[in-house]
Amino acid sequence: MRIVSGTAGGLQLKVPKGHKIRPTADQVREAIFNIVTSRFALEGIAILDLFAGTGALGIEALSRGARSAVFVDASPDAQRLILENLALTNFRRHGRLIRAYANKGIRVVEEQGLCFGGVFLDPPYDEGWVDKVLRLLARSSVLEPKAWVVVEHSQHETGAETYPPLLLTDRRRYGTTWVSFYQRHAEEVA
């Protein structure tokens, strides 16, 4: 697994042994970033990487110009990989690790008053996390006004088309992996 592009482009990341952590394939990550960089802001924004695994999505964003990234994962194996990969890519000072499940991680950054221009959500497939976390994000104060959310999921857990103020803008299929793109839109004034 390697960083596809940017200042750390071509560097090989450390990967997990076994099947506890499912890293995003290079081809899927490249497709995600082609869409993100063509439609949304990435340069200079803060990234929230939920169920971060190896940290590859957040680190790819840092490599392509994101200002900072907060990585959230409850797995000790994932936490170790994230820290090793941040050190390997020289992004340690731009990354922060929160050792928690996504729902608690969102509460932590919310309590700290942090806001993000982009969010990656790559939970374990078919465990009910997609809908639960999208609802939490939509109700939280952690999303900047035009923030985007990229969700990697299975065909069985696609999520709704809207979580006001988050609206689905695109959904793509890459083999058995599906990727949904949401963007925060202005809330209507009554």
pLDDT of the chain, 190 residues: tens digit per residue: 888 888 898 888 998 776 566 667 778 999 999 999 999 989 999 999 999 999 999 999 999 999 999 999 999 999 999 999 999 999 999 999 999 999 999 999 999 999 999 999 999 999 999 999 999 999 999 999 999 999 999 999 988 999 999 999 999 999 989 999 999 997 644 4
Confidence (pLDDT) at 159: 87
Confidence (pLDDT) at 189: 41
CA–CA distance, 32 with 41 (Å, rounded to integer): 13
Give domain limits for the chain.
Answer: 26-184
| Helix residue ranges per DSSP H, the chain | 26-39, 56-63, 76-88, 102-111, 129-139
Cα Rg of the chain, angstroms: 15
Confidence (pLDDT) at 19: 59
- Classify domain 26-184 by CATH number: 3.40.50.150
Confidence (pLDDT) at 158: 86
CA–CA distance, 175 with 85 (Å, rounded to integer): 27
Confidence (pLDDT) at 100: 97
Confidence (pLDDT) at 18: 63
Confidence (pLDDT) at 40: 92
CA–CA distance, 1 with 145 (Å, rounded to integer): 33
